[in-house]
Structure 1
Amino acid sequence: MSAARYFVSGKVQGVWFRASAREQALALGLRGYARNLADGRVEVLAVGDATALAQLETWLRRGPANARVDDVRREDADASEAGEGFVCG
């Protein structure tokens, strides 16, 4: 089990980024959350198989159709930070 925290910057708020990230994460069997940050970024915490995390990261670098992703920063995370399922905060 792997865990990663992603900080996504660009035009990522108000464009269904969190909900779309949730759909992607659930399809990949990941748990965690996506939430807006006060500085305009979106934070995504994901826990699961390393291959699924890599696939999610690839998607995060594109985002949904109306988003513009400028940067994605990844950090290792603690799997215990994620609850059950995948939620938008």
Structure 2
Amino acid sequence: MHSDDPVRCTAWVRGKVQEVGFRWWTRARAMEIGLTGYTSNLGDGRVQVVAEGSHQDCERLLALLRGPGTPGAVTGVTEIWSATGDGYDSFAIR
């Protein structure tokens, strides 16, 4: 992929990240950065974040997800990178 091409970053956030406003916080940060995608709770207690935009902007979101200012208590973030799909109109909470 060319560095200017949009990318998709799918991240799984572990820790105490449900019932603490984590998805709302993530949506606000993603929208401030200008990313599209969504965030959703998973049945195993993790939160999934799918973000599309520039590689640099996705990296900014990942840094925030790993940073000290998140709601709850993040113990780890795992991500994979891919080409964008059909795209998203905004950043949603699912």
- Could you state the TM-score of these two structures normalised by the residue count of structure 2? 0.87
Does structure 1 residue 40 correspond to structure 2 residue 60? no
Does structure 1 residue 51 correspond to structure 2 residue 56? yes
Displacement, 1:83? 1.9
Contact 1:17 1:63 in 2 (8 A): no
- Structure-1 separation of matches of 2:63 and 2:47: 15
Deviations 1:66-88 (A, max 9, x none): 41000100012342164210000
- Taking only aligned residues, the RMSD between alpha carbons, in angstroms, comes to 1.5
Q: Residue 93 of structure 2 aligns with which residue?
A: 88
Does structure 1 residue 76 correspond to structure 2 residue 81? yes
- Structure-1 separation of matches of 2:78 and 2:14: 9
Q: Residue 21 of structure 1 aligns with which residue?
A: 26
Contact 1:20 1:64 in 2 (8 A): no
- Could you state the TM-score of these two structures normalised by the residue count of structure 1? 0.91
Give 4+ residue runs of structure 1 displaced > 2 Å after superposition: 62-66
How many pairs align? 89
- Structure 1 regions of 5+ residues with no counterpart? none
Identical counterparts, % of pairs:
33
Cα distance 1:81–1:35, how it changes in 2: closer, same or farther (>3 A)? farther
Rg larger for: 2
